[in-house]
Amino acid sequence: MVSRRLFLKSMGAAAVGSALIPNLMASLKDVKGIKPIEGSWFEFQHHSAIEGKYWNPTLLDFTANQWDYKIKEIAQSGIRYLVLLDTAIYDKSFYPSKLLPQHQMGCEDPLEVVLTAADKYGIRFFVSNGFYGEWTNPAFLMSDKSVERLRLQAMNEIAEKYAHHKSFYGWYYPNETGIRGHYDEIFMNYVNSSSAEASKLTPGKKTLIAPYGTRNIAEDEKYVRQLEQLDVDFIAYQDEIGVEKTTVEESGAFFERLYRMHQKAAKAKLWADVEVFSFEGDVYRSALLPAPTERVIEQLKAVSPYVEKILIYQYMGLINRDGTYSYAGHPDSYRLHKGLKKQGYLK
């Protein structure tokens, strides 16, 4: 640890960014057949104040230096991909916008700061195109024409301001309706209209969705056809263990089923969205806490044979490196980092 700090301090930021990720990923190989954690969700504020009570107030006051350091810390943990949950919420944006008023934070433009940091440290960002409107009513957000106009205007504004960053790897579409056997048409239309705009604005950039309802997916030809029709590069299905809809013992079978259908469709890559949290009290009505390390490792083990990459929900607030300058979250976040590092799934 000491030698790593001295090494990083002695190098320039550009050199660190170019060398850091390949070297870390070379050492984060499968451990006993379990894939490493390659990505995480990321946020400026958690959408649910109750769930984010241990880090939302802290993040609100983060300076530009703290955001930069947090991206560096995440990169040093071996993570290559970050998925920005939202660029706006509660009718305010997280960047200077002509479309909405801006959240007052300790940093004037946190989106610019984290993308600049990601440029330096070798992180690839999926940038969100939400939440424009009331996030608790996703079906309305995906079907209302006025919300759609605002969302597409925001994508244009974001692309103009930030797409020049090399870390701007692609787009993430955060609105979701649960899968009940199959995707509903509202969701299909939302994804494909978003991808049409993304392709026009940022040709060649990747696209990601992370649906829930994983346990309910029907293994049939209709679902395979829907996968063929969805214009998206990666689908990171939620394992739904943190929200207590699925058990670790069940999870592998659900992802095996998905693997077979994705192989047939031969289109979007199959990724996993592994939930590394538990609730302090009632599900959805209490704060998020870091899950026990042992449970998280079993989750990684369950999905590893079937997915191309594993992302987690999430580093921010639930994982912190010892001695971090940019601490935000529950005290047990140190424990989760130590446990995953000891087993080789993070650095």
Establish if 205 belongs to a structural domain: yes
Q: How far is CA 170 from CA 125, 133, 139, 165, in A?
A: 7, 22, 23, 11
Establish if 257 belongs to a structural domain: yes
Beta carbons of 260 and 23 less than 8 angstroms apart: no
The per-residue pLDDT for 8 is: 30
Establish if 347 belongs to a structural domain: no
Integer-rounded Cα radius of gyration of the chain: 19
Residue 289: which residues within 8 A CB-CB, separation 6 or more? 54, 277, 278, 279, 280, 318, 330, 332
Beta carbons of 322 and 331 less than 8 angstroms apart: no
What domain range is 178 assigned to?
2-342
pLDDT tens over the chain, length 347 residues: 333 233 233 333 334 344 444 444 434 445 678 999 999 999 999 999 999 999 999 999 999 999 999 999 999 999 999 999 999 999 999 999 999 999 999 999 999 999 999 999 999 999 999 999 899 999 999 999 999 999 999 999 999 999 999 999 999 999 988 999 999 999 999 999 999 999 999 999 999 999 999 999 999 999 999 999 999 999 999 999 999 999 999 999 999 999 999 999 999 999 999 999 999 999 999 999 999 999 999 999 999 999 999 999 999 999 999 999 999 999 999 999 999 999 999 99
The per-residue pLDDT for 33 is: 86
Q: What is the CATH number of the domain that holds 143?
A: 3.20.20.80
Establish if 89 belongs to a structural domain: yes
Distance CA(104)–CA(261), nearest Å, equals 45
CA dihedral 275, 319, 174, 298 (to 10 degrees): -20
Torsions phi, psi of 148, nearest 5? -60, -45
Distance CA(192)–CA(187), nearest Å, equals 9
Q: What is the pLDDT of residues 135-170, one digit of tens each?
A: 999 999 999 999 999 999 999 999 999 999 999 999
Distance CA(133)–CA(30), nearest Å, equals 41
The per-residue pLDDT for 305 is: 97
Helices (H), 35-143: 56-60, 64-76, 110-121, 138-143
Q: Which helix (H) or strand (E) holds 93?
A: strand 92-93
Establish if 141 belongs to a structural domain: yes
Give the total number of structural domains in the chain.
1
The per-residue pLDDT for 177 is: 83
